[in-house]
Chains A and B, each alone.
Chain A
Amino acid sequence: MNEEIKTKLTEAGMNVDDALERFMNSESMLEKFLKKFMADPSYKSLIDAVNANDNDAAFAASHTLKGVAANFSFEELRAKSSDSCEEFRAGRFESGAEIVKGVTAAYEKIIETLTAIYGAE
């Protein structure tokens, strides 16, 4: 993992130093899991739940996505997921769904960067 990649990841919203610590300071381990992140279904589940107007499923998916984002120190994605999660937890579906737009923006920015670095999964 060279400095250029680290810079790109930082621009995509990752606190790289934090994330590396979480992956036992192993860059190869972080990269391995980043590739898995590209295939992680949490985001898609959230979008499906919002499209289906399913508050409970939206809560579960945003909750999972928040955890996943936190593990990678994707700060923006974690914050937006967390905000939407709290709305869904309180049963405020419309307000939650509104925040999910921010989740999508953060998520797409990350996927775009990862695809540029590692290619499409």
Chain B
Amino acid sequence: MKKTILIADDNAMNRELLGAYLEGDYDIKMVEDGVQTIDYLKDNPDTLLLLLDLYMPNMTGFEVLEKIREMGLDKTLPVILISGDGSVEAEEKGFDLGATDFVHKPFEPAIVRKRVKNAAELYASRNYLEQKVTEQTESIRKQNGILREQARKLRETNEKIIDVLGTTVEFRHMDSFEHINRVEAFTKCLGEQIAKDYGEFKLSQEDIERIVVASSLHDIGKIAISDSILLKPGKLTKEEFDEMKTHTTRGCTILDRVRGIWDDDFGKVCYDICRHHHERYDGKGYPDGLVGEDIPIAAQIVSVADVYDALVCKRVYKEAIPKDEACRMILEGECGCFSPKLLDAFRKCKDEFATLAEKII
């Protein structure tokens, strides 16, 4: 389909001469003054191009340009002004008001055709690109919205799963809600100290948050241990203790079932903590006997927090130990074996640990 060019000039011969130059390549419509021009454009906003005379009765070309801008058509409709005298002032004013180009009298057919073609093509490609950009921006905006919504749902799912698992642990009375809260608080405190003093672990604030949330699941495997062992008031036999040790690997079996739902980073932290929070720095821990820094830092942090809480709280099999004594035992290696860096950080945090232990009872 040919596109329409509107020629607005009060002089019939000018209109027809311009029309004669352009017919064949375009559909030509003609109007005689500014008011007719605006009326036509209102009905035909998809007009390809306007050839506009500056001096017309009723409304001058300048006024028409202003109207076009008010109508918001200036972005999509190229306007070529028909200039009689090449007055620099008039042309400047025309450009300021949004004209695309000029043609001068006397007309040169080749020049008129070329300028019309250039302006029409320029605007067509600009309109096309702007349309594309608008479409793509909209599509990106929508996709971002979907991603944000998915991330929110995922976070919600994570929290719900942790909640369900945590509640399960609570129901079995193995670990109280308070124990979980305290371990979380100690983990946060120790994690921040490590991040501050030992940059080599590259712990970001986000990593610490993740470790804190995951710490609540460190003993999830205990729900698979029988009551007779779990709730036994006295010392465990070797067989019973061996059974008890399997809470680390059984916990991992449980986590494996839900890992597909979590994002990989979070799943790995949960897994590391659950499996390795009973490893020892000297390699004599369980279940894998990992040595030194082979033990994931998340598990190292949680194991200190867990041991400290076990010591200072009353358990079915033991009385509470005073906090100073608990610190001494940990620092002197009587309860487990930790990395020198962890112990250094723990020493710096021990007063805060004591305060937290008092606060969360």
Task: Contact check, B105 vs A36: say whether CB atoms are below 8 A apart.
Answer: no
CA gap between A73 and B106 in the complex, in Å? 8
Binary A-proximity of B61-84 (CB < 8 A = 1, otherwise 0)? 000000000000000000000001
Task: Contact check, B16 vs A33: say whether CB atoms are below 8 A apart.
Answer: yes
Task: Contact check, A63 vs B12: say whether CB atoms are below 8 A apart.
Answer: no
Residue B361 CB within 8 A of the other chain:
no
A19 shortest CB reach to chain B, Å: 9
Within 8 A of B (CB), among A84-120: 85
Given contacts A22-B106, A22-B107, A73-B106, contact A67 B14 (CB under 8 A): yes
Task: Contact check, A22 vs B109: say whether CB atoms are below 8 A apart.
Answer: yes
Task: Contact check, B11 vs A68: say whether CB atoms are below 8 A apart.
Answer: yes
Residues of B in contact with A, size category:
10 to 19
Task: Contact check, A67 vs B20: say whether CB atoms are below 8 A apart.
Answer: no
Residue B108 CB within 8 A of the other chain:
yes
Task: Contact check, A63 vs B85: say whether CB atoms are below 8 A apart.
Answer: yes
B289 shortest CB reach to chain A, Å: 96
Within 8 A of A (CB), among B1-29: 10-14, 16-17, 20-21
Cβ contacts under 8 Å, B262 to chain A: none
Task: Contact check, A64 vs B11: say whether CB atoms are below 8 A apart.
Answer: yes
Within 8 A of A (CB), among B80-102: 84-85
B112 shortest CB reach to chain A, Å: 10
CA gap between A36 and B10 in the complex, in Å? 14
Task: Contact check, A67 vs B16: say whether CB atoms are below 8 A apart.
Answer: no
Given contacts A67-B84, A73-B106, contact A60 B11 (CB under 8 A): no
Task: Contact check, A66 vs B84: say whether CB atoms are below 8 A apart.
Answer: yes
A36 shortest CB reach to chain B, Å: 5
Task: Contact check, A29 vs B84: say whether CB atoms are below 8 A apart.
Answer: no
Task: Contact check, B55 vs A71: say whether CB atoms are below 8 A apart.
Answer: no
Cβ contacts under 8 Å, A17 to chain B: none
Given contacts A21-B108, A68-B11, 14 further A-B contacts (CB under 8 A): A22-B106, A22-B109, A24-B20, A36-B12, A37-B13, A42-B11, A60-B55, A63-B55, A66-B105, A68-B13, A68-B14, A70-B105, A71-B105, A82-B85
